[in-house]
Chain A
Amino acid sequence: DGGITQSPKYLFRKEGQNVTLSCEQNLNHDAMYWYRQDPGQGLRLIYYSQIVNDFQKGDIAEGYSVSREKKESFPLTVTSAQKNPTAFYLCASSVPGGVYEQYFGPGTRLTVT
């Protein structure tokens, strides 16, 4: 079955540690996205990539980093510079161009204490 995998579902880290969230897709989509969801805030775009080896900052990129070395993978690193990293993180993919629907993974809930 085609889809998007995010692992793990729940992740716990101590403050000051970097943590990398995994996102893999087998939909053969060129574009991939990372969103952050906080209660009552909707989805906010962190980074997106329209093609391998290229990515752009979204609305809240500070304290995050990404890489896109393979079409299937778009890992997100939450660095210690992110002031409030506890949130629900969603990865998505689509055909390139904003006119197409995005397909989402199950999400990773990150808790930093």
Chain B
Amino acid sequence: AQKVTQAQTEISVVEKEDVTLDCVYETRDTTYYLFWYKQPPSGELVFLIRRNSFDEQNEISGRYSWNFQKSTSSFNFTITASQVVDSAVYFCALSEMAGNTPLVFGKGTRLSVIA
């Protein structure tokens, strides 16, 4: 069965610090997709990134970067030079190719960036 673990329940950092949010997943499928979502205080989830299991290249988008390592079943998310607007709950999610099943979400990490 597929599972996503976000061990960090809450993280607090001071503005301009770098912060890494951890995501560890379990799956029996060889083809799968990983996602990150941001949930600001307004409540709506915002899609950040999708990565398939065959692409282990790290990705950078502005202050955001993602490190995908199949060897450790991890898909970690780093925010560089954090800002107050980054304060949100961040969710990691997994979808297996086989079975056409919807996303399985981790329990989320609440990030607080303090000015």
Known: A42-B91, A58-B102, A106-B42. A98 touches B107 (CB 8 A): no
Q: Which of B44, B47, B95 contacts A98 (CB 8 A)?
A: B95
Chain B residues 55-72 with CB under 8 Å of chain A are none
Mark B98-115 against chain A: 1 for CB-CB distance below 8 A, else 0.
011111011110000000
| A41, B107: Cβ atoms closer than 8 Å | yes
Q: Which residue of B lies closest to A31 (CB)?
A: B102
B100 touching A40 by the CB < 8 A rule?
Answer: no
Is A62 in contact with chain B by the CB < 8 A criterion?
no
CB atoms of B107 and A42 under 8 A apart = yes
How far is it, in angstroms, between the C-alpha of A103 and the C-alpha of B48 when the chains are bound? 11
Binds B, one of A17-25, A43-51, A64-72, A76-84: A43-51
Q: From residue A41, how far is it (CB to closest CB) to chain B in Å?
A: 6
| Known A-B contacts A98-B100, A99-B97; A106 and B43 likewise in contact (beta carbons under 8 Å) | yes
Q: How many residues of chain A get a CB closer than 8 Å to chain B's CBs?
A: 25
Whether A40 lies near B95 (C-beta < 8 A) is: no
Residues of A within 8 A of B (CB): 33, 40-43, 45, 48, 50, 58, 88, 90, 92, 96-107, 109
Residues of B with C-beta under 8 A to A101: 35, 47, 50
B13, CB-defined interface residue at 8 Å = no
Listed by A's residue number, 28 A-B pairs whose Cβ atoms lie within 8 Å are: A40-B107, A41-B107, A42-B91, A42-B105, A42-B107, A42-B108, A43-B45, A48-B102, A50-B100, A88-B43, A90-B44, A90-B45, A92-B45, A96-B100, A98-B100, A99-B95, A99-B97, A100-B50, A101-B35, A101-B47, A102-B103, A103-B47, A104-B37, A104-B44, A106-B44, A107-B43, A107-B44, A109-B43
Asked if B33 and A99 make an inter-chain contact with CB atoms under 8 angstroms apart, the answer reads: yes
The distance from the CB of A60 to the nearest CB of chain B, in whole angstroms, is: 13
Residue of B nearest to A50 (CB): B100
A106 to B33, CA, bound (A): 24
The CA-CA distance from A109 to B105 in the complex, in Å, is 20
